[in-house]
Amino acid sequence: MAPGIHDQERGLTVLRRLVAEVLLAERLAPRPTPAFAGSILATEAATSRGSGGPDGYGDAGLAASSEDDESERTRLIALVELARQGDADAFGLLYDHYQGSVYRFLFYRTRSRTLAEDLTSETFFRALRSMNGFRWQGKDFGAWLMTIARNLATDHFKAGRTRLELTTEDMSLHDDATDGPESAVLAGITNEILMRALTELPAEQRDCLVMRFLQGMSIAETAAVLGRSDGAVKQLQLRGVRNLAKLMPEGLRD
């Protein structure tokens, strides 16, 4: 059955909220310095030496990774450093690495594929919004993600009602209110602006977001239409939302 007008409006509302979260995260994140943004390899070298100078957070000495391979540990620590300086591509690579383990954890907790998928997406959106607040505490970055995921699962069951279960409606329920800066950003993202920005996305990202939010299709249904894996669709959705944020009017991105 084709989605009705109310379903489409609800989907647009959810999409507006997700774009607003990305915009707010970018506002809060410190601007990367030219030296930091210049090269991941340079960052990896500094991290592996453990004495690359002030990192702006004072916790570089506590950076850790549970990976067995030393080069992979170095790579992931470097990506976290870039991501908390506001590098969206670095965060995307962290998503690629950790998404599977977060999903498996949530599926084990919920025993629901749909719920685990949506809670996984919510975990990474919350992580993206909070990256500038991440601090090394001698634990793997994945442990921080698992803490977010565990709290989301706990909140879901404490609520005593279905949250994040439907393709679009539930993703709009993750915060209790939209007071403060988020409400101002949301007010500026009109449906007209959002729809115009959608037309400027790469075709596959645009199709993914249209199917997920305007047509109310599941991850699996979207993957079948696009001929991609479920994991690829999740990445398309995350990257599509990030790119939508970049296409918002300049006043909303300041």
CATH number (domain holding residue 38) = 1.10.1740.10
In a domain, 243, yes or no: yes
DSSP, residue by residue, 16-31:
HHHHHHHHHHHHHSPP
Q: Which two tokens stand for residue 204?
A: 């596959």
User: What does the pLDDT average to over 129-146?
Assistant: 87
Q: What is the distance, to the nearest Å, from the Cα of residue 111 to the centroid of all Cα atoms in its chain?
A: 22
Q: Which two tokens stand for residue 185?
A: 């950003």
* 161-209 pLDDT per residue, tens: 443 333 333 343 344 444 455 677 778 888 888 889 999 999 999 999 9
Beta bridge partners of 64: 140
* 221-232 pLDDT per residue, tens: 888 888 988 888
- N-to-C CA span, the chain: 41
Kindly state the greatest CA–CA separation across the chain: 60
Q: How many structural domains compose the chain? A: 1
What percentage of the chain reaches a pLDDT higher than 70? 74
In a domain, 161, yes or no: yes
In a domain, 38, yes or no: yes
In a domain, 224, yes or no: yes
Distance (Å, whole) CA 13 – CA 4? 14
Cα distances (angstroms) measured from residue 228 to each of 141, 212, 236: 28, 14, 10
DSSP assignment, residue 32? Answer: P
Cα distances (angstroms) measured from residue 134 to each of 39, 83, 93, 121, 194: 21, 10, 17, 18, 30
Listed in sequence order, the residues at least 6 apart from 58 whose beta carbon sits closer than 8 Å to its beta carbon are none
Residue linked to tokens 């670095």? 90
* 143-164 pLDDT per residue, tens: 899 999 989 888 887 765 443 3
Q: How confident is the model at residue 14 (pLDDT cuts 50, 70, 90)?
A: confident
Q: What is the pLDDT of residue 230?
A: 85
- Domain carrying residue 81: 5-46+57-253
CA atoms within 13 A on the CB side of 232: 11
* 51-73 pLDDT per residue, tens: 333 456 778 788 888 787 889 98
In a domain, 51, yes or no: no
Cα distances (angstroms) measured from residue 78 to each of 18, 23, 41, 44, 58: 26, 23, 8, 5, 15
In a domain, 52, yes or no: no
Q: Which two tokens stand for residue 108?
A: 């084990």
Task: Look up the pTM and report it.
Answer: 0.50
112-139 burial by CB neighbour count: b if 16+ within 10 A, else e?
Answer: eebbbbbbbbbbbbbbbbebbebebeee
Distance (Å, whole) CA 6 – CA 44? 49
Q: Is the pLDDT of residue 115 over 80?
A: yes
Q: Which two tokens stand for residue 109?
A: 């907790």
In a domain, 191, yes or no: yes
